[in-house]
Amino acid sequence: MNLKYATLIATLLAASGAAMADTPVIGLITKTETNPFFVKMKEGAAEVAKAKGAKLLSGAGKADGDNAGQITAMENMIGAGAKTILITPNDSKAILPAIKKARDKGVMVIALDSPTDPADGTDALFATDNYKAGVLIGQYAKAALAASAPGKPLKIATLDLLPGHPVGAQRHNGFLQGFGLASYDAKNNELARPSEVVCMADSFGDRAKAQTAMENCLQKNPDITLVYTINEPAAAGAFNALQKAGKEKGVMIVSVDGGCDGIRDVAAGKIAATSQQYPLKMAAMGVEAGIEYAKSGKKVSGYTDTGVTLIAGKAVAGVDSKDVKTGTDLCWGKK
């Protein structure tokens, strides 16, 4: 080969290698790959990474609660050169040793949506104020029931996430607080159970599991008047169970998430109100922080509230809410 061309090729290869080395590598680990909330989160991360020249690696647990799958994904990403990892922890405590190993290697770890327990297990948290999200739907449910069914006995079913998870606890306890019932504060990861709550069940945020849980609740307490659900897939499962039992018109469902499918269920009257959160924003902020860390070595820290909005099918006096059109325009932070 001509020496001139050989030198040119070598120079181009070296430049290409240097460019690749300068490309920020960011990992995103979600709880699952199929939940629409995390699909939207991945879309947001991919959009920003592509626009700003970063490489995005993605992984997930097989289901809510799959800690081992998330640990494997984290180890693989570190091996592939990720210097920032964004994670929605499946197990807020069991994931801590793996996160510590990553941070000890200089990897910045940011929790999205769900904090670790304790929260300082990661460098930072970008998330909804989940306690506030619960408070908003609790306040709405109390006012709406007072207006539509005054004097009707209050019997509540809660379809929660899984035991001990901070997000599940904060939404559940916030809901009870907003309704004005005995509850815990945002720092407590136990689930409060005042006497008005006649049934509590873990849904794992899954439609089928939630439907089964609601069916079991109805067998023991056929006169339930209000259902709180951890998210909108669980709300859809609860509605299916109520409809199957011929009770869908006499029971109010409130929830959290504000995804496009969930807002359609609010419009259809299946869900009375939901607290809308913004996963695309969480992921975009995380990728931007990872790019900045790669450039400057500056880490983010602490908690950043990514916002929450109450979306209701019908407005009620004394409770600030937005309508279905607004919810549809904003669902999960779409542009």
Average pLDDT by consecutive 10-residue portion of the chain (335 residues)?
43 39 90 87 93 95 88 96 96 94 97 92 96 98 92 94 90 98 95 98 95 98 97 97 96 96 97 96 95 96 96 97 96 68
Residue 39: count of CB within 10 angstroms of its CB: 16
What letter would DSSP give residue 335?
A: -
DSSP secondary structure, 103-143, as one string: HHTT-EEEEESS--SSGGGSSEEEE--HHHHHHHHHHHHHH
| H or E, element range at 164 | none
C-beta contacts of 92-99 below 8 A and 24+ residues apart: 92/116, 92/117, 92/164, 92/165, 92/166, 92/189, 93/117, 93/164, 94/67, 95/67, 95/70, 95/71, 95/121, 96/121, 98/70, 98/71, 98/74, 99/74
* Alpha-helical segments (H) within the chain: 3-22, 36-51, 67-79, 96-104, 130-148, 166-179, 207-220, 232-244, 260-267, 279-296, 324-330
Q: How far apart are the first and last CA of the chain?
A: 53
CA–CA separation, 31 vs 50, rounded Å? 23
The separation between CA 280 and the C-alpha centre of its own chain, rounded to angstroms, equals: 11
**What is the model's pLDDT at position 334?**
58
**What is the model's pLDDT at position 75?**
96
CA–CA separation, 116 vs 123, rounded Å? 11
- What architecture does CATH give domain 130-276+310-333? 3-Layer(aba) Sandwich (3.40)
User: Which CATH code of 3.40.50.2300, 2.60.40.350, 3.30.300.30, 3.40.50.10260 fits the domain covering 3-128+279-300?
Assistant: 3.40.50.2300
**What is the model's pLDDT at position 164?**
82
Query: Could you give the 3-state DSSP secondary structure of residue 199?
Result: strand
**For residue 82, what are the contacts with CB-CB under 8 A and spacing of at least 6?**
25, 26, 27, 57, 107
Is the Cβ–Cβ distance between 48 and 24 less than 8 Å? no
Residue type, 35: N
Question: Where along the chain do the CATH 3.40.50.2300 domains lie?
Answer: 3-128+279-300, 130-276+310-333
Supply the pTM of this predicted model: 0.84
The separation between CA 137 and the C-alpha centre of its own chain, rounded to angstroms, equals: 16
**What is the model's pLDDT at position 54?**
96
